[in-house]
């Protein structure tokens, strides 16, 4: 276990000379908004390092290694790892080769788990018994350390052959494109004032009630960030919606809302009532626009089915799972970006997946024929 900055610097100095590096993280995210980094596993083919980020007081050598363009970082299903690196260290590894994504490109399955991939490709059965460990606890047991080490030991062994097979298909850049797009998503953040757009059933509200929901969701988001608490540990989503509908003006009315725990009213009641009260004097012209829904568009079913058929045809030609090329979620993302005034991609300056990276050149012409010229609305 690496517990000192000097040990880490020494390891990174050697690892930077290697063409690729297996990387994994262990983190805890039970009550927090952001994942809490508990361990970083590294394997360069010669030496396996378990880095204790709770003990090492200077992680700059690791940061430099993670962004060194000459060393490919090999991870598996890396979305949460990238988020953890970003929130804990303000760094995102590059370039990244994700073995789960590579497995999809090789038509082994769209979201193959690490243990299954290792068993399929290397004939090794992994013990997943420590997956629910508290990685912030110290000391970690030998079993926990072995489990963590195995995550990079076999990852390193998977890479050479998978990289060769992906390269033979001419799809290596697809992986780097996909990971770069994922990194952009991890770095981007929806402004707090638009947090209400992610509240389930928000479309049921309009006018002043929607304004109240907007302000309550903004308060919850900011509180969660300040205290590093998961959103529903601040205040449950369904209660925000209920308060926006009822708009109580007194604390006893808050206690009367079904389901809201009394301790939540005691803890947050004054703030909640203050937010609701401030919304009462806002002029109607400042209310948020009514929430748009795809199912309210008459063309939605026809257009989404046409895009799905386009993706299915191309996926068959390319021997890809259709979910990798264009899932229902990604199709909906594109149509919201095209049709909605308030859409997350526009608010965070991110284009839809179907227009980005490796998918864009494959789908652009077909999509243009279905929905017309593909361009950022207003640009």
- Catalytic center residues: 24, 26, 81, 147, 151
Phi, psi at residue 28, to the nearest 5°?
-120, 135
Give the list of residues 6+ apart from residue 114 with CB closer than 8 angstroms, or none: 76, 77, 99, 100, 126, 151, 155
> Can you tell me the distance from the alpha carbon of 221 to that of 132, in angstroms, rounded to the nearest whole number?
27
* Mode of pairing for the β-strands spanning 48-51 and 96-98: unpaired
H runs (alpha helix) in the chain: 5-15, 60-66, 79-89, 99-105, 114-122, 142-168, 172-187, 207-227, 231-234, 237-246, 251-255, 262-279, 300-318, 322-325, 328-339, 344-348, 359-371
Q: Classify burial at 253, counting beta carbons within 10 Å of its beta carbon; exposed 0-12, middle 13-18, buried 19 or more.
A: middle
* Mode of pairing for the β-strands spanning 20-28 and 36-43: antiparallel
> Can you tell me the distance from the alpha carbon of 13 to that of 85, in angstroms, rounded to the nearest whole number?
20
Residue 95: is the preceding peptide bond cis (ω within 30°)? yes
DSSP string, 201-266: TGGG--HHHHHHHHHHHHHHHHHHHHHT--HHHHS-HHHHHHHHHH---SHHHHHTSTT--HHHHH
SS3 50: strand
Q: What Cα–Cα distance (Å) separates residue 63 from each residue in 69, 359, 379?
A: 12, 30, 37
- Match 């004939």 to its residue by tokens: 123
């Amino acid at each position: 276990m690496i517990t000192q900055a000097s040990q880490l610097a020494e390891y990174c100095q050697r690892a930077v000379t290697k063409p690729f590096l297996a990387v994994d993280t262990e983190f805890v995210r039970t009550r927090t908004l952001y994942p809490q980094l508990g361990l970083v596993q590294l394997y360069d083919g010669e030496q396996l390092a378990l880095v204790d980020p709770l003990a090492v007081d200077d992680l700059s050598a690791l940061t430099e290694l993670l962004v060194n363009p000459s060393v490919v970082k090999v991870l598996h299903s890396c979305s949460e790892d990238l988020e953890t690196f970003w929130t804990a260290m303000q760094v995102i590894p590059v370039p990244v080769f994700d073995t789960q994504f590579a497995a999809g490109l090789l038509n082994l399955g769209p979201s193959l788990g690490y243990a299954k991939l290792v068993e399929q490709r290397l004939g090794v059965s992994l013990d997943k018994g420590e997956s629910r460990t508290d990685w912030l606890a110290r000391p970690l047991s030998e079993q926990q350390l072995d489990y963590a080490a195995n995550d990079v030991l076999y990852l390193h062994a998977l890479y050479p052959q998978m990289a060769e097979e992906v390269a033979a298909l001419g799809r290596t850049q697809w992986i780097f494109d996909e990971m770069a797009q994922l990194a952009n998503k991890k770095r981007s953040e929806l402004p707090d004032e638009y947090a209400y757009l992610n509240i389930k059933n928000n479309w049921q509200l309009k006018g002043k009630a929607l304004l109240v929901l907007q302000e309550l969701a903004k308060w919850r988001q900011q509180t969660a960030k300040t205290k590093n608490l998961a959103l529903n540990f601040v205040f449950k989503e369904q209660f925000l919606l209920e308060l926006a509908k009822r708009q109580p003006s007194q604390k006893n009315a808050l206690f009367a809302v079904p389901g809201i725990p009394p301790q939540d009213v005691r803890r947050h009641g004054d703030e909640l009532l203050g937010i609701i009260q401030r919304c009462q004097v806002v002029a109607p012209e400042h209310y948020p626009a009514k929430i748009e829904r795809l199912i309210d568009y008459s063309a939605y079913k026809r257009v989404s089915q046409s895009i799905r058929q386009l993706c299915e045809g191309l996926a068959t030609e390319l021997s890809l799972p259709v979910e990798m090329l264009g899932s229902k979620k990604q199709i909906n993302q594109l149509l919201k970006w095209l049709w909605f005034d308030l859409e997350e991609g526009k608010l965070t300056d991110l284009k839809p997946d179907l227009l980005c990276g490796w998918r864009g050149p494959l789908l652009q012409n077909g999509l243009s024929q279905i929905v017309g010229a593909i361009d950022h609305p207003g640009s």
